Structure 1
């Protein structure tokens, strides 16, 4: 049995779908019972657990051979102290479950313990989980293409793509569709030891590349627009992001701009197959469907 946490999120959901498509037995772990109904309809088992609760996580992992673990997006409070708590809870639960394989969603840049903003929380998680299973892989993903869904409305209605990234800086990006495929592969193949796999799309992309993909999908020009650093914290907090979380998120963009958030030498580098325009087309379709 493969246990997938975060199934109602982007990467967790794609991992569960990829496992189901492979015909692998899947148990998804959700925070509330009603979130599991759509997964039951797909043939998955469902468990309910809070990732920060060791006992609940251990029960969800009972009888499993492999698990996909991740850190939920921070919503409030100090993301860095929360990462320490999460790492301790998950490490103990994995140890109790005696899993054969664990795949941990991480990020490009997680080799650093500072200077990367919120990504440093994944450094903490990697350190806590290292050695907790005979086979453990840290799947360090690039910037999610699907993150651009948060500004897709502006691209659709105004022809602009607001960006916290330098519009011409190419960075590792990846669609969550490719994350699901890679995670399912690691969960179901036989291997031993600790692995670091850095995952990005078919090539590195910039905000300008993303804007071009939106333009091609929408059939009208879309221009990338860099948001000045001094405006960013206010924009995030005005949208309801907690101040401490906003600072951690913006630290990630500072790390990307400085080049600190980059691949680590000597690790495995995998490339996904999903074209940028394919991922953007799905974003646009979702926005239209929700309208």
Structure 2
């Protein structure tokens, strides 16, 4: 058979080639750059821990948590949400709030228990990754009772990292060696690990709605908390962490009351990790 002539090729029209995905838009660079900065901050925390500077190590992970809270909001503001952003955010969170805290605490005190200490660190990192994987698997599901009622499922990864640092913060604040006991710290890390992957309903931002007559008080309280963080950062961090732990049973009671009273009290849906439906693009 003879090869088709040029006229035949032209008459058949141009062949349809698969569409090549476009690169990231300029506005999408901002939230992704913030996510990358959060990742670098978490990794830098490991570097500080290797050097023995555990104060800066914890501060680096906290900075990663602050940046993680910004990137999703930046994506919403710029209308730059996408599946790519959600995946990038989850991968960064797995390292910053799973791997980094586990290694920091291991280098601090868990290394005194070479086997059990390492297992406790692994449990924390693995449970953080499992939590994020569960969130990604449920992105497209509509039937999520906790989210529909305005609650989160389990302890969010950034807060889990802060909770894991509680013994270290107590040790820095008081210099008492009891808080660096490797057995107690190992048990604590495993407990927080299971809280992250648990089905415990925890309060989300949509449930944090103070009454109108208390809003000025809340503003003043936030201001005082910021001042306390600047003057006594470690004691303030301990108080805030213990306060969050105290809210866990309260959140469970509120969730049960909301489910009993029906959907009329349900809040706007809220996601677990990324702050936008599909994260920063």
TM-score by length of 1: 0.28
Q: Which has the higher contact order (CA 8 A, sep 6+)?
A: 2
Question: Which structure's CA Rg is the greater one?
Answer: 2
- The structure that is strand-richer by fraction is 1
- The structure that is helix-richer by fraction is 2
